[in-house]
Amino acid sequence: MMTNDLGSWLKKAKSLLQGQSDTPLLEAQVLAAHILQKPRSWVVSHTECLLDPPQLQALDEALMHLSAGVPLPYLTGNQEFYGIPLEVSPAVLIPRPETELLVETALEYLRLNPSARRVVDFGTGSGAIAICIAMEITDTSVIAVDISPEALRVARNNARRHQVDQRISFLLADLADPLVGTFDLVTANLPYIPSRDVRNLAVAKYEPVIALDGGADGLSLITRLLHDLPRLLATPGMALFEIEYRQGESAIQLAKALFPMARIEVHRDYAGNDRLLQIIT
C-alpha cells in the first residue's frame, strides 16, 4: 500500500541518497523544505503531513535529479556561506567552506588597518567574498570582477539581497586589464584545478568548467594575476589567493619572484591542506 505522508517520502529519499551523501536525511529535508516552501524545522516536525499528487511529483522529480548527482544548491538555488544565504546557479561555482578562510583573513586585515578600504575581488562568481567583506566592513569600496556576465548577474542579485549593492561595483573583465589605480586588498578565488584533473571531477559535470580549470598546472590564471599585482597592490597592502592543496610551494616561489621584499606565506585550511597564499607588502 502506497503512503503519501511526508515522513514516508523522507524515508524513501534517505534510502535513495544513502551511500552518495554523508548527510542523506539532511539533504532530503532541505530539498523537501524547498519544494514545499516551508522551513526545514517545519519539515522535521510535520512528517505526518499528507502530500497531494502535485507535491509528490515535484518532490520525486527533484529527488531524481539529486540522486543523479545534481548538487543540492543548484536544485534549491541557495547556498549558505559565512553565515549568509547566497543565490547560486549553474553559472557560478558553489561557495565552499574552505573559502571562508580567505574571508576571515581579509576581515582581520581590514579591521587591523582602518585606512585600508579599497578592495578588488577577482573571480567573484556568486559574489560571496565581496559581499561578506562589504557586509562586515561597512566603509569599504569593493570592485567585484568576473569574466562571466551570468555570474555577475547572480553576484548583483546577492548584493541587492544583502543591501550592499551600492558599495560594490561589478566589472565584466578578463582579470585586471581594465583596472587603474591601486588597492589596499586584493582577493582572488580563481580556477586552480589542473586541466588533467578537471575531467575526473564529479563536480565538473554540473559546475562551470571555466570556474574550475586552471590550465596545465592549475596556476595559469593565478600566475597572470600575480604578474599584474605589482601595479595593483598598494604599499602597504595585502593580496590573498585561494590555491589548490598541492600548489603551496609553487605559489610561494611565484610570489617571491615578484615581491622579494614582501611577507609571503601559505595558510592551511581546516582540513590541514595548503589553501591560501598571502602576500603583505
Percent pLDDT > 70 in the chain is 99
Q: CB–CB of 279/226 below 8 Å?
A: no
Same domain? 102 vs 232: yes
Q: What burial class does residue 255 get, using C-beta atoms within 10 Å of its C-beta: 0-12 exposed, 13-18 middle, 19+ buried?
A: buried
pLDDT given for residue 144 in this prediction? 98
Distances 218 to 70, 190, 244 between C-alpha atoms, Å: 25, 10, 8
77 part of a folded domain? no
Query: Across all residues in the chain, what is the average pLDDT?
Result: 96
- Distance CA(110)–CA(242), nearest Å, equals 18
pLDDT given for residue 199 in this prediction? 86
Same domain? 103 vs 208: yes
pLDDT given for residue 2 in this prediction? 59
Total number of domains in the chain: 2
82 part of a folded domain? no
Q: CB–CB of 6/55 below 8 Å?
A: no
SS3 state at 260: coil
1 part of a folded domain? no
Q: In the structure, what pLDDT confidence band is assigned to residue 216 with cuts at 50, 70 and 90?
A: very high
222 part of a folded domain? yes
Same domain? 112 vs 222: yes
Same domain? 63 vs 108: no
- Distance CA(238)–CA(31), nearest Å, equals 40
SS3 state at 128: helix
Cell numbers for 195? 586541466
Q: Tens of pLDDT along 243-276?
A: 999 999 999 999 999 999 999 999 999 899 999 9
- Residue 33 belongs to domain with CATH number: 1.10.8.10
Q: In the structure, what pLDDT confidence band is assigned to residue 19 with cuts at 50, 70 and 90?
A: confident
Same domain? 36 vs 105: no
Same domain? 166 vs 231: yes
Same domain? 149 vs 248: yes
Residue type, 114: P
Pick the closest to residue 247 from 219, 221, 227 (CA basis). 219
Same domain? 51 vs 99: no
Whether the model clears a pTM of 0.85, i.e. scores above it, the answer is yes
79 part of a folded domain? no
Q: Tens of pLDDT along 23-57?
A: 999 999 999 999 999 999 999 999 999 999 999 99
18 part of a folded domain? yes
Same domain? 26 vs 100: no
Same domain? 36 vs 136: no
Give the structural domain span for 24: 6-69
78 part of a folded domain? no
Pick the closest to residue 121 from 148, 139, 141 (CA basis). 141
- Distance CA(118)–CA(183), nearest Å, equals 5
CA quadruple 245, 74, 172, 163: dihedral sign: negative
- Residue 269 belongs to domain with CATH number: 3.40.50.150
Q: 118 φ, ψ to 5°?
A: -95, 120
Same domain? 165 vs 253: yes
Given 38, 69, 100, the domain boundary residue is 69
139 part of a folded domain? yes
- Distance CA(26)–CA(144), nearest Å, equals 33
Same domain? 160 vs 108: yes
Q: Tens of pLDDT along 225-243?
A: 999 999 999 999 999 999 9
Average the pLDDT over 113-124 and give the result.
98
